[in-house]
Amino acid sequence: MITNYFLSGMVGIMLFFTVVVAPTVFKVLPVEWSSKYVRNFFPKYYATLGLITLICVFTEPDIANKVLLGICAALFAFTLFYLTGKINHAKDSGQGRQFHWLHGTSVVINLFQLISFLYLLVISS
C-alpha cells in the first residue's frame, strides 16, 4: 500500500535527523551557525512531513488509521505555525525555562508522531 511507502520514508527522515544530523550539527558547528541552521531547517521539516502525513490521510483505507494520521498532521501544523515561533521567541528573549519547556513539548510531539508512524507500519504488516 502506498501509505506504507510514505510512512517508511517519514520514519527514515525522522530517525536520520534525530540520530545523525542534529548531533553532528551541534557538535561540529559553532552555536550561532547551528542555531541558524536549525531555525531554517525545522519549518521545512514540519511542513514537508505534515504535507506527506496529510497525503497519507487520503491514501490510508482504514478509518482509525486515518484519524491517527490526521492527528499527526495537525500536530505538524501546530508545531510549525505556533510552537516554533514560541520556541524562537523564548530563546531570543532569554527565557531559558520557557524555552526548555516548549522545546521539550516539541520533542514529545515528534516522538509521538514517530511512534505513531512505526505503529501504523507494524500493524499493516
pLDDT digits (tens, 9 = 90+) for 67-122: 999 999 999 999 999 999 999 999 999 999 999 999 999 999 999 999 999 999 99
pLDDT value of position 21: 92
- Name the pTM for this structure: 0.93
Q: Per this entry, what is the length of the chain? A: 125
Whole-angstrom Cα distance, residue 108 to residue 102? Answer: 10
pLDDT value of position 1: 82
Spatial neighbors of 111 by CB under 8 A, at least 6 apart, are: none
Q: DSSP character for 29?
A: S
The pLDDT tens digits of the residues spanning 39-72 come to 999 999 999 999 999 999 999 999 999 999 999 9
Does residue 125 surpass a pLDDT of 90? no
Residue 91 Rama label (left phi>0; alpha psi -120 to 50; beta): alpha
Which amino acid belongs to residue 5? Y
| Average pLDDT value for residue range 2-20 | 96
> How is residue 115 written as a grid cell?
511512534
Closest-CA residue to 14 (of 107, 101, 87, 82) = 107
pLDDT tier at 6 (50, 70, 90 boundaries)?
Answer: very high
Spatial neighbors of 52 by CB under 8 A, at least 6 apart, are: 6, 9, 10
Does residue 4 surpass a pLDDT of 90? yes
Residue 94 Rama label (left phi>0; alpha psi -120 to 50; beta): left
